[in-house]
Structure 1
Amino acid sequence: MSAAAINITDIFQRLPNEILLQITAHLDSPAPSIAKFAHEPSTTLTDADQTPLKNLSCVSWRWRKIVLPMLFRYSRIQLDPTPQWVPIDARILDNMQGQLTKLSNHEFQVYQHMRSKFKSSSIFAYDESFDDLLINLCRIDDGDEFLKSIPDILWFPHLPKSDFLHYAEFVQQYELKYHIKNVVIYTDKSYELRHVSTAEAYLSKVVKEIWSTIFQVLEPTRVVVSAPPCTLAGLLDVAMMSSDTWAFDMKIHHVEFIQYGQASQIQHTTPQCRPWETALVHRRPWTHLAYNEGSSISAYSTYEYHLKQSPRMLYLLLLRLAKEVQDCCNIRSFSFIGVFPFHTNIRVVIHALQKIQTLEEVKFQLAPGPENDLLNETKRMGRAQPSDLWLEWNESYKNITCFLGTYDFADGASFTSKDCSVAAVKQDVGEYMELLQKKGQGWQAKEDGLWIRDHTRDHEGASINIPAPDI
């Protein structure tokens, strides 16, 4: 190599950090949890096919230092799948009594506490029909070998103890708390103890512990929770309001909370404008709420499908926002994604939306997106009739149209229909929006699937009255 030959390493060392940051920006791309949020929910929400920033961070220590703040803007936390709770009853207590010398300190404390409890109800303690009333759920600690040997160990949502501790130490060591803006909490484990009355208090306790721990370590402006409906209900501190979840075969739901702008810029009407530090919905002054409940197609194959009720955690979340949050820090935008949901579900969601007075942006997607071809999947369709699917779709849009016509949107508010990516569906949505214009509602079409509220156009094409939805 001649003396004039270019030494790439030397050039790299001489480049200022500003140039390296520009190079890094060209390799940046949206996180999978953003790009795939509207896809049918699955456990692969956070999986990425390509990781250019991670690869670049492995080139050298200087590149790693440059990339680090960008590399960890998006973080994911998987809940521990290991069952850690034991239902202590009188029969287990008898087994513990025979091994007192082998019990850990924690196990011995559990034994003493439960023995005193069962003394006052010894007549019924061994009757299985009283288990739900007398049972105590006990979390397994390190060294609890007896409790670990019990076959019926139960699962509650919880953070991976040691892994999260290392994660927290890493965040602190590299001062990443304010660089991590997005966090996804996910699991594929289903919570199955809603039939045990005493389990609700324990569930509430462990869920509060999850959010308190996460928000002590991180300061995210976007939080996504991805979990089976029964688990998601617990993580959101709401009920499911459905006994028909089997019919819908919804493996995973996604919910997204975003806080746009700085919390310090909000002019709070009162210090108690929401019950801070309780459920996730109240942990921050969220301005955006999005929900993806996936496909309802399997329910159309069941007998009298129209009587089935899908999980309604979203409805309850919106009601909490309407009842418990002042306008100063309530949501400004809302997005719903589902594949052919029943119009009864859309109707109750809209019923709750009507009670929130701060909406400026509303988005709906009720048909399959371009990323899937559910209508041509014979196995997924089962006995469902396409005519029934589109009937529910049309009834849902009638409810949406009535909502757009009765809600007091300000000038500049927007409605987006993500279904307009298909030409035939775009035409149908356009006809519903024309009905609003005939009613005298000024919604101006801006681009495919987007309409802007314009009060100056009110009454331009008024010719009919559209009744409000029966909600």
Structure 2
Amino acid sequence: MPLQLSRIEQLPNEILDQIISYFSTDPPSYSRLRRLPSLGIASSNRKDLKNVSQVSSRFLALVRPFLFSHAFLDLHSETEFLSFISQNVLARYVLSIVVIGHDAPDHRRDLFWWRRVLRYLDPLRVTIIAPPAFIGAMLRMHGDADSWAFEIPLQSLHLRQDRRQRNFDKLIPFEEPSSLLSARTWTSFGFNEGSSLKPYNHYEYFHYKVPSIFNSLRNMESMRFWLDNVTSFQYVAVFPFYNHVHRVLEFVERIPNLQSFSVQLIPDQRDNVEIEAKGSMNPSDPWMEIESGYSIILNTLALSLGNTGSLQEFVAFDYNSLPAGPSGILWDTLDDTGWYHDGQGTWTRS
């Protein structure tokens, strides 16, 4: 007697595919890009798709495009990861990937891992979580820094392209670009710098330089070929010094086709970051730096950036979280300068 299929298994693949799509959600990393960089950025307790894939071989085939659309790679396991992707013909399904990099004790880093990964994959989004030294060396954008004073364990880089550029039905020769930033036509660039709180405990903290890719802007001309593609830039940090914010703005002003610029300079409330007065720290200093930082940003928007023509949107994610003092005086800078404010921290060109 033949085994009778359950009612759901009698449905055609097209309907089952539609049903399964409702189990697919954005990966947790998307909502954590503005939190302190963490190795757990991709962790989740949801196992809906995995559970559905175990029903039968037919369900596994239907779930596979959704199950592997968001990948996670620890570079310690790169060989195993790429072998799994290749053997199971999964490359076409990977739309985003989170990559964890490490700073080796002997300082020897494989800075071209992305060539091998992008040889197989063509994701729309790439998020890299790694120590500052790793990211700076990988991008060849590392300058002098007082790393000992900041003790930043991790930073994150987020890149996004509008459309995939590879035809997975054809094995085409892969040209080896010199930089990850030129390996795809990235249109969105985001950098999360981590926390700058620790140096506030030192006397004349403002003389210290945070480990950052923005410390080395001398080779900006060589970056022009990929900066031309960038239309969206997001900068996230926790209490950065105003002089460093100025350095970031020097980078932003060199993005010729920038349309959207967003910033967050105070910690996400979910991270429970507290200002503890230690050493010579004045608890008001971090807030003074934020006020000065936003003052520089808004004046730049009102003047040089506001006159570029391409920039159409500015977002201050901190708008509703700043103390009453700064939030009551800073934003007036953009009044009568051609910017329209929605009252929630987003300005658009009128």
Instruction: State the TM-score bracket (shorter-chain normalisation).
Output: 0.7 to 0.9
- What is aligned with 2:117? 214
Q: Distance in 2 between matches of 1:32 and 1:240?
A: 32
Name stretches of at least 5 consecutive residues in structure 2 with no aligned partner.
167-174
Whole-angstrom CA distance in 1 between matches of 2:18 and 2:200? 51
Q: Distance between the aligned counterparts of 2:330 and 2:310, measured in 1?
A: 20
Contact conserved, 1:333 with 1:359, CA < 8 A, in 2? yes
Matched, 1:434 2:332: yes
Within 2, Cα distance between the matches of 1:328 and 1:263?
18
User: TM-score w.r.t. structure 1 length?
Assistant: 0.66
Any residues of structure 2 matched to 1:26-425 within 5 Å, and which? Answer: 26-80=22-76, 160=77, 164-187=78-101, 189-191=102-104, 203=109, 206-208=110-112, 210-242=113-145, 244-261=146-163, 277-316=177-216, 323-326=222-225, 329-375=228-274, 378=276, 382-383=278-279, 384-405=281-302, 406-407=304-305, 408-410=307-309, 413-422=312-321, 424=323
Amino acid corresponding to residue 209 of structure 2 in structure 1? Q
Secondary structure at the counterpart of residue 288 of structure 1:
strand
Cα distance in 1 between the residues matched to 2:256 and 2:178:
22
Whole-Å separation in 2 of the counterparts to 1:398 and 1:322? 28
Q: 1:423 to 1:225 in 2, by over 3 A?
A: closer
- Residue 259 of structure 1 and its aligned partner are, at CA, apart by 0.7
What is the match of residue 120 of structure 1? none
- Preserved contact between residue 433 and residue 443 of structure 1 (Cα < 8 Å): no
State the aligned residue count: 337
Instruction: Structure 1: give runs of 5+ residues left out of the alignment.
Output: 1-6, 81-159, 265-274, 455-471
**CA shift for structure 1 position 30:** 1.7
Aligned pair in 2 of structure 1 residues 327, 50: CA closer, same or farther (>3 Å)?
Answer: closer
- The 3-state SS of whatever aligns with 1:336 is strand
- Inter-partner Cα distance in structure 2 for 1:59 and 1:364: 45
SS in 1 for 2:330: helix
TM-score (norm 2): 0.87
1:119-142 deviation line (CA, Å, top 9, x unaligned): xxxxxxxxxxxxxxxxxxxxxxxx
Alpha carbons of 1:453 and 1:430: their partners in 2 closer, same or farther (altered >3 Å)? Answer: farther
The equivalent of 1:21 in structure 2 is 17
RMSD (Å) for aligned C-alpha atoms: 2.7
Checking the alignment, whether the CA contact within 8 Å between 1:56 and 1:63 is kept in structure 2 is yes
Aligned residue in 2 for 1:84:
none
* 8 A contact 1:285–1:329 mirrored in 2: no
Whole-angstrom distance in 2 between the partners of 1:8 and 1:404: 67
C-alpha deviation, 1:359, in angstroms: 0.6
Whichever residue aligns with residue 177 of structure 2, its letter is E
Equivalent positions of 1:424-463 (< 5 A) are: 424=323, 428-429=326-327, 431-437=329-335, 440-454=336-350
* Structure index of larger Rg: 1
Cα deviation, 1:272-305, whole Å, max 9, x if unaligned, reads xxx9711111111111110111111111112221
Displacement after TM superposition at 1:172 (Å): 2.9
Q: C-alpha deviations, 1:13-50, integer Å up to 9, x for none?
A: 11122322232222222212212121111211121122
Q: 1:303 to 1:176 in 2, by over 3 A?
A: same
The share of aligned pairs that are identical, in percent, is: 26
Contact 1:319–1:352 (CA under 8 A) maintained in structure 2: no
Deviations 1:401-432 (A, max 9, x none): 1221121343771000110242646x844643
- Structure 1, residues 162-200: CA drift from partner, whole Å, max 9, x if none? xx444334323443222111112103x334556xxxx7x
The question of whether the paired residues in 2 share the 8 Å contact of 1:401 and 1:433 is answered with: yes
CA contact (8 A) 2:73 2:81 kept: no
SS in 1 for 2:268: coil
More helix by share: 1
SS across alignment from 1:374: coil
User: Within 2, Cα distance between the matches of 1:237 and 1:428?
Assistant: 36
SS for the counterpart of 1:355 is coil
